A = this chain, B = another copy of it.
Amino acid sequence: MTVMEKPTRKGRRRANHGATSAGGGHAKQVNYRQIKNPFPHHRVVSDDQLHHIHATALRVLSDLGIRVLLPEARQLFRSAGAKVDEDTLMVHFDPTMVEENVDRAPRSFTVHAGDPTRNLDVQLGTLLFQPGGAAPHATDLTRGRRPATLSDFRDLCKLTQAFDVLHMFSALVEPQDVPTHVRHYEQMRGQLTLSDKVPHVYGRGSPQVRDSFELIKIIRGLSDDDFRACPWTYTVVNTNSPRQLDIPMAQALIDFARAGQASIVTPFTLMGAMAPITVAGAMTLSHAEALAGIALTQIAHPGAPVMYGTFTSNVDMKSGAPAFGTPEHFKASALAGQLARHLGLPWRCASGSAANLGDAQAASETQMGMWGCVLGGATLVKHAAGWLEGGLTVSYEKLVTDVEVLQMVADLCHHTAADEDEIGFDAIAEVEPGGHFFAAGQTMQRYQTEFYEPMVHDWANFGTWTERGSHDATARATEVWQKIVAEQTPPTVPHDRLEAFDAFVARRTEEGGAPPES
């Protein structure tokens, strides 16, 4: 892939010396746009236990069943051989039928972006990060915490675009100042005109989904056939754990599958609340629900692109408050990875924090959750930057400080060269005992690109740091995001496409837009 050779590190650019400027052919080049996960998988259960969990999940589907609220989904399940009770809305699944349908899902697929170097290679082994998503609030140090607005949504589109290590959009924040029947037009406008990354579409009923698909076709310049030929967007479907699939969620699985677009089936299962209190129990329930959802996509459209999704953490048993970045969250992620590999499907996981501001707790929990995902071998880590209060708020500053960590992880994923040149006996021989390597030949050849260069982490000594105003990392992050929001040039979109976008939105708004369905 030629894109692997292209230095694209924002941190490097900020520092005013790109990877290409290093001398001697020793420039380390890390491509944040395409990351392969080199870490070994952490396994928390034995293979026998894993098979038992899978078998128990199938038994949950056959003996206990899932309540499916959408008539069309029940009809599809019935057509595939499931037993459906139209009084109770319960669907009972034959295990073989589930496994056969899940087996139809592709092991890998590519989601296409506006810029092909930002295409997503979705399979086990690749590593994708998303900013925190779906928050009703936004916060930053200058304006404080408030209900999110369209202005926040657009600012966060710019920030998502700015960092190569954020590979695709999440739902970011809810622009609460835009009425819900036209909100999706502004969500698509922000994602499609301020960025060339893969956009997210909410599954809030077929009319909104159809509108959003049309807007993607307009901006990307796609015919209906072009669009249907491969995924250009994705949605996340949360089951209503335990054992329930609601109307808009089931509809989204069907709509996305039939349109050839990607869906992620993610039971959001908090241990002790919507799921059993044990890691193994919660993941058994989550696995059952994910299998049912994935099966639905394949019944609706065999071969439809779909990801296995999990988001299992625990609650505080004293208050019921959700917690993230805990040992239980980490273990559930690792177990989910074992289950995903058992299926062979790409899978999404999530980090996150329950902290109320971007402090040490927030940083610790987010990184802990992230390592659970990375060591679990997740394809996609959602909520990897900026997510506070268990998803109720996205913080501008935390987005920046978390991106710093994600960039370091991307550097860790980069090959460590250890050939003759790097081992460098001659370099060691060049420096006398007790001397220093600052001026050594090997140092001079490599000093511009050998090390990760931080964006907000400050290594100045206490005196210098104090003279500069004693700013903590969050305060320093303000400067970073404000500069991006103020100065970023959006990717070029042909004028006629922008006009067509506006015309479509005007017409549909005139027609009443598309209120969310429930």
Contact = CB atoms under 8 A, between A and B. Distances in A.
Nearest to A407: B327
A452 B461 CA distance: 36
Given A49-B419, A423-B281, A428-B285, A368 B367 contact: yes
A509 interface: no
A215 interface: no
Q: What's the interface size class on A, roughly?
A: 35 or more
A66 B433 contact: yes
Nearest to A330: B412
A358 B359 CA distance: 8
Given A284-B428, A314-B450, 9 more contacts: A40-B41, A52-B423, A242-B435, A274-B436, A276-B427, A359-B363, A361-B456, A363-B364, A368-B405
A321 B330 CA distance: 34
A331 interface: yes
A417 B327 contact: no
A76 interface: no
A422 interface: yes
Interface in A357-414: 357-365, 367-368, 371, 375, 389-390, 392-393, 398, 401, 404-405, 408, 411-412
A321 to B, nearest CB: 4
Contacts of A446: 277-278
A356 B458 contact: yes
Contacts of A367: 363-364, 367-368
Contact of A360 (B41, B271, B363): B363
Interface in A329-360: 330-331, 335, 354-360
Contact of A60 (B40, B314, B417, B428): B428
A65 to B, nearest CB: 8
21 contacts: A40-B43, A49-B419, A52-B420, A56-B423, A66-B433, A90-B433, A242-B437, A272-B451, A277-B442, A280-B424, A354-B459, A356-B460, A356-B462, A359-B473, A359-B474, A360-B363, A360-B401, A361-B457, A363-B364, A368-B405, A375-B375
A240 interface: yes
Contacts of A470: 356-357
Contacts of A401: 360-361, 364
A387 to B, nearest CB: 13
A67 interface: yes
A258 interface: no
Contacts of A361: 363, 401, 404, 456-458, 472-473
Contacts of A274: 436-437
Interface of A: 38-46, 49, 52-53, 56, 59-60, 63-64, 66-67, 90, 145, 240, 242-244, 271-281, 284-285, 288, 314, 316-317, 319-323, 326-328, 330-331, 335, 354-365, 367-368, 371, 375, 389-390, 392-393, 398, 401, 404-405, 408, 411-412, 416-425, 427-429, 431-438, 440, 442-443, 446-448, 450-452, 454, 456-462, 465-466, 470, 472-474
A404 B308 CA distance: 32
Contact of A371 (B362, B371, B422, B465): B371
Contacts of A442: 276-278, 281
A457 B417 contact: no
A123 B433 CA distance: 32
A470 B359 CA distance: 11
A395 B122 CA distance: 43
A405 B321 CA distance: 20
A359 B471 CA distance: 10
Contacts of A462: 145, 356, 389, 392-393
A242 B278 contact: no
Nearest to A412: B327
Contact of A450 (B277, B432, B436, B450): B277
B434 A277 contact: no
Given A326-B452, A327-B452, A423-B56, A428 B365 contact: no
Nearest to A43: B40
A443 B281 CA distance: 11
A443 B272 contact: yes
A284 B424 contact: yes
Nearest to A435: B242
B447 A277 contact: yes
A462 to B, nearest CB: 5
